[in-house]
Structure 1
Amino acid sequence: MALIPPMTGEVTIPMKASPEEVWSLVSDVTRIGEFSPETFEARWTRGSTGPAVGASFKGHVKRNGVGPTYWSPCQVTACEEPRLFEFSVGTDDVTVNNWGYRIEPDGSGGSIVTEYFRLSAALPFRLYWLFLGRLRARTNEKGMRTTLERMKAVLES
């Protein structure tokens, strides 16, 4: 067993919605509050108005759904309609982690959707992950599953 668990995680679920429909939903960051158990709102910032590489937004977060709230600055790092939407969380100088969605057609008109995260490999984050990684990974997995299941319910209704 590795001393430091993998600093990544992902959850995949099928959805009875086209990749275009899924991409439209996951790339509209202003709707994340409907789905995420931790990020209850987001808004485009710095003149950005929609998904594009380099676009900025901020997410209003309540970690684990409890405690104080804070705003996290984010920047879109990959935007390939209808298959990939990814963003970094952090400042212009320090990326804390990346979150994203991969969308693949399932061959029958639906999609296979994966939400994933990847923590920065910088030393402070490796130390954080060494001590809290297993717990945080479980929390992230539960949150990603909840987010995807809520999105699925909207897309399939």
Structure 2
Amino acid sequence: MTATATPPNELTATVTIAAPPAQVWAMVTDVARMSSWSPQVVKTVVLGGPVRLGTRFVNINHQGWKHWPTNAKVVRFTPHSDFAFRIVENHTVWSFQLEATADGGTAVTHRRETPNGISLLSRSLTKLAFGGQEAFAEEMVEGMRQTLARLKADAER
């Protein structure tokens, strides 16, 4: 598994899973299950019907005793390939990009993108409550690694 922080804002982690892209796709797009993989997500509530382009959902996140909600909207939805959602509060885009491997598995890249930067409110709160962007980014990369490791273990059962 690899993970990188591309200063100042894009974060990535990648893993290869011994499961076909269709199976991994079904898992990552079932956002209500994210709390079983992500160390930061406590609960996800999908607003409306099945997850697809434009679907909205709410996450309850935590770090220690601190809890906060985020509102998300699915902004990319290419079956078996690219699933991404934008967080309203901080403008970041979180994605899972899937690529079939020669042995029938799936290379999964989990990414936090910042195509329009990070909101001033989020940068300010991160500085006050989470030790600043650099420390929080390191924690997020570790969380992405854990998310992918747990997803891999679940998919390979």
Q: Same fold (TM over 0.5)?
A: yes
Match of 2:31 in 1: 29
Match of 2:21 in 1: 19
**Aligned Cα root-mean-square deviation (Å):** 2.3
1:109 to 79, 85, 104: 104
Shift of 1:133: 2.6
**What is the identity, as a one-letter code, of the residue corresponding to 1:102?**
Q
Q: Deviations over 1:89-133 (max 9, x none)?
A: 115xxx531101000001111000010002341562796589823
Match of 1:134 in 2: 134
5+ unaligned residues in a row in structure 2: which ranges? 1-5
Counterparts of 1:35 and 1:123 in 2: how far apart (Å)? 26
The count of aligned residue pairs is: 147
State the TM-score, normalizing by the size of structure 1.
0.84
Counterparts of 1:156 and 1:107 in 2: how far apart (Å)? 17
Counterparts of 1:104 and 1:8 in 2: how far apart (Å)? 20
The structure-2 alpha-carbon separation of the partners of 1:125 and 1:9, relative to structure 1 and needing over 3 Å to count, comes to: farther
Counterparts of 2:123 and 2:40 in 1: how far apart (Å)? 23
5+ unaligned residues in a row in structure 1: which ranges? none
SS in 1 for 2:71: strand
Shift of 1:44: 0.8
SS in 1 for 2:132: helix
Match of 2:82 in 1: 84
Counterparts of 1:137 and 1:112 in 2: how far apart (Å)? 23
Match of 2:144 in 1: 144
Counterparts of 1:33 and 1:89 in 2: how far apart (Å)? 16
Once the two structures are aligned, what percentage of the paired residues are identical? Answer: 23
Shift of 1:6: 2.2
Match of 1:124 in 2: 120
- Is residue 76–residue 85 contact of structure 2 (8 Å, CA) maintained in 1? yes
Counterparts of 1:117 and 1:105 in 2: how far apart (Å)? 21
Match of 1:53 in 2: 53
The structure-2 alpha-carbon separation of the partners of 1:26 and 1:123, relative to structure 1 and needing over 3 Å to count, comes to: closer
Counterparts of 1:74 and 1:127 in 2: how far apart (Å)? 18
